[in-house]
Structure 1
Amino acid sequence: MLTKYRPVTLLCHRKMSFCLGILLLFFGHIKGQEFFFSGNQVKQSMPFKSIKNLIVIPIFINGKGPYDFILDTGVGPMIVTDPSIIDDLDFSMLRKIKVTGLGVETVEAFVSQNINASIGRAKIEHIPTAILKEDLFNLSGHLGIKVYGLIGFNFFNSFMVDVRYSENRIIFSYPYSKIKYRGKKVPIEIENLKPFITADVQIQDSGLFRGKFLMDTGASHAVSMEMINGGEVPIPEKRIKANLGMSISGQIDGFIARVHQVSIGDQVFTDVVAGFPDYKTIADKVDLSKRNGNLGADLLRKFDIQFNYQQKFIYLKPNKYARLPFEHDMVGMVVYLDQQQFKRFLIGEIDENSPAEKAGLCVRDEIIGVNFKPVDGYTLNDLTELFKSSNTRNVILEVFRDDRVFYVVVKLEKRI
């Protein structure tokens, strides 16, 4: 069984991840495959796109590309989420498997160890890869650019990876090369090909508790609270209902609220926006005995982070984002790009009693203008930032519905 749950305030709430289980049966000893430089090179620097807090980098597959992938500490084998890549490449020796969640839904996927990849001038041969037959999670639509998948462990385990969120740049070098580390050294654990860190959390007025958290650069939220003291996490009274993610077997419901304090390394953050997934639902999908939650990119981006998987430590250096407050969407709706007509901005979900609902917006409305400017002048990232920009701010949307065009004024509201 391949079950995956990833808390999402990710990609506007759509992302999938795999537990390793059956994949390891197909891929064998996954740790054997590593990226390498040709010749005497030991280091490279390259820019990345930052979209909804996520790191998007170009990858060449079997010499073709580039294809945009998310650089994601939360995945093990490389995952191809957009099956159109299969039409572009001459994959051989693909083995078909059935991927099932906890429900009745079954999805076809392919696994392969016959794929070569390169990131910059670093290459890997026979990288373990899972390829979904259907793009169930619409990563491209929710990010606004064509995204083909996710890559994680094989890259991070091959190099010391310096993620400079402050510069939208990664610098990767062999762990044994001469490296200048910056900031606070913090130990990590590598389990199931993923990094875990200890953090102190104070949810409300109660005392701090020390927990174990997955470091997840592929989730755009700040924090997901999943378990405390072997059971359900108490949720603050001021909260809003939310769709927090997707698993193969369906939607993960829960709440968004603020926790009083999160401490990581020697840095303390207050009033942190956190997700509280329904405990019973995720306890059936995830082994919560091994973690208390998940730290996502909205928190991680406040540091420049140097990952050293092989020696099991990171260095954390607070950057220009460290003092920025944590903010949540103030409009209460999900906007995505129609993949058939890629520049159509459509409304996918609307929260109950949200500013979007109060303004009369509906699911499947098309946004064709924002503040009297054509929507072509905006990216999805622009709209995400606009919709959490300022409490009580008015945003004027030009909307197309049922063959007519009209204007809607949405007053942003800080709901938590």
Structure 2
Amino acid sequence: MITSVFKKAQAQYFQFPEHRKRQTLSFELVKNIAIIKLYINDKGPFNFILDTGVDPMVVTDPSLKESLKVNNTRKIMITGYDNTNTVEAYVTHELPVKIGDAEALNSPVVFLKEDVFNLSGYLGKKISGLIGYNFFSSFVIKINYINRTFTFYSPKKRVNPKGDKIPFEFINHKPHITAQIRFNQSTYPVKLIVDCGASHSLSLETFNNQSFAVPSPNIDANLGVGLTGVISGKKARIDWLKIGRFDFNNVISSFPELIPDSVKKIARNGNLGAEVLNRFNVTFDYANQAMYLKKNSRYTDPFEDDMMGIEIYMEEGPPSRYLITRVDEGSVAQKAGILPNDEIIALNFKPIDSYTIDEIANLFKARDGNAILMECWRKDQRIIKLIRLKKRI
């Protein structure tokens, strides 16, 4: 969902106070994405996505630039994931940023002029931005997706990471690994960005300067939001993904539509997201250009996609509203008569505000054949539909 190329800003590393060498903090996990709390300029806490796919730190909420009294900024233009269109932003190098007891006194921070990602609506809670390279490069960082904690260790502390070592290559401060995939009766060696800020399993973009041929069956899908708008494309299953000695079968993969002229500008083959990473306890060791993967209890979970066929956006309240922004062609929701702009008010007799966005997403991909009673407002009309989930890929 979130991979952008920025003009470089000099990194300011985080440091512990002298007495500390490690710290463990909790995070929220929403749609596979880890959300941490941090402080900027002694204000906060603000919710930020922990994201190996960004550099430098990005503030997506434009109102923070004024409320934090940010001065001495310069305007920059940021290119999208396909290296084509640009958006306007402002960068400063003078803000102190604090995570737990660790602080970067003069952190480079990019403020987007517009909230092009709308992460708050997508994740159902207020999100102010993303933090990546300048935090990950300061420590050895261990993410425990089951306990929902992350531990970061000072470079002065000796750490013996557990799990299989997967070497990194850094390109534009973003970690890339080599892996193998198989589909359409072919096996491909691929270079993938490791992107813990992307909720998907795998995104496959180009191979030998051409877009990947999408396997069948497949479905049209919105694949997230980039700097220049919605990323359209398709979803399909690939036969096999291999990372080191770890194998995954029937992996749901995204195939974004790329502008033909941009295909040759993309150095990677794709993007490895958190739906794969969260099946491990992951240790990131940027100094030694490696991550370590240790299986957790989610390792053997099947890969499943939304079986309802709708996208939901949370409009902040009070009260918050859950609006349907898209209904997929041929989906069970469309066949039941659900329309864009319908407002969900209840699911299975429970008020919608008793669910989190994450719980709704999990409900819609729980099991093929599950029945869900959906109640919606459409203008001044109450709509009640019994919809049976259907696996589409």
Taking structure 1 as the reference length, the TM-score comes to 0.90
**Structure 1 residue 99, shift from structure 2 partner:** 4.9
Kept in 1: contact 2:4–2:227 (CA 8 A) = no
**CA 388–286 in structure 1, closer or farther in 2 if over 3 Å, else same:** farther
User: Any stretches of 5+ residues in structure 1 without a counterpart?
Assistant: 1-7, 9-15
* Superposition map of 1:116-265 within 5 A: 116-206=96-186, 208-265=187-244
Which of 362-371 and 404-413 deviates more?
404-413
98 and 227 in structure 1: CA distance in 2 versus 1, 3 angstrom threshold: closer
Matched, 1:79 2:58: yes
Number of residue pairs aligned between Structure 1 and Structure 2: 392
CA distance in 2, matches of 1:225, 1:287: 15
Distance 1:96 1:86 in 2: 13
TM-score normalised over the length of structure 2: 0.95
Distance 1:360 1:62 in 2: 49
Q: How far does residue 34 in structure 1 lie from its aligned partner after superposition?
A: 0.3
Specify the alignment match of 2:5 in structure 1. Answer: 19
Asked if 1 retains the 8 angstrom alpha-carbon contact of 2:62 and 2:111, the reply is yes
1:286/1:224 CA distance change after superposition, 3 Å: farther
Identity %: 40
* Stretch of structure 1 that moved more, 58-67 or 89-98: 89-98
TM-superposed CA distance for 1:338, in Å, is 0.7
- In the alignment, is residue 89 of structure 1 matched against residue 75 of structure 2? no
The residue type paired with residue 222 of structure 1 is: S
How far does residue 104 in structure 1 lie from its aligned partner after superposition?
Answer: 11
SS at match of 2:359: helix
CA distance in 1, matches of 2:114, 2:303: 34
Q: Determine the C-alpha separation between the residues in 2 that align with 1:393 and 1:252.
A: 29
Cα gap change, 1:18/1:100 in structure 2, threshold over 3 Å: closer, same or farther?
closer
Distance in 1 between residues matched to 2:84 and 2:184, nearest whole Å:
38
Q: Is 1:360 paired with 2:360?
A: no
Q: Structure 2 counterpart of 1:160, which letter?
A: V
Structure 1: distance between partners of 2:105 and 2:316? 32
Shift of 1:98: 4.9
3-state DSSP of counterpart to 1:200 = strand
**What is the alpha-carbon distance in structure 2 between the residues aligned to residue 269 and residue 400 of structure 1?**
41
User: CA, structure 1 residues 97+198, in 2 after alignment: closer, same or farther (shift >3 Å)?
Assistant: closer
* Post-superposition offset of 1:211: 1.0
**Pair 1:346 & 2:346 matched:** no
CA distance in 2, matches of 1:411, 1:19: 41
CA distance in 2, matches of 1:375, 1:126: 42
Q: Which residue of 2 aligns with 1:287?
A: 265
SS class of match (1:85): helix
Q: Per-residue displacement from partner, 1:148-191 (whole Å, max 9, x unpaired)?
A: 00000000000000011121110100234121311111211111
Partner of 1:329: 306
Is the CA contact (8 Å cut-off) linking 2:22 and 2:153 kept in structure 1? yes
Name 1:4's counterpart in structure 2.
none
Query: Could you tell me which residue of structure 2 aligns to residue 12 of structure 1?
Result: none
Runs of 5+ in structure 2 lacking a partner?
none
Alignment check: 8 A CA contact 1:109 1:131 kept: yes
Please provide the CA RMSD for this pair: 1.9
- Contact 2:5-2:83 within 8 A present in 1 as well: no
Give the match's secondary structure for 1:114.
strand
How far apart, CA to CA, are the structure 2 residues paired with 1:318 and 1:104? 38
Residues 383 and 251 (structure 1), Cα distance of their counterparts in 2 relative to 1, 3 Å cut: same
Residue type of the alignment partner of 2:125? I
Displacement of 1:103 after TM fit? 11
Give the structure with the higher percent strand: 2
CA distance in 2, matches of 1:334, 1:294: 22
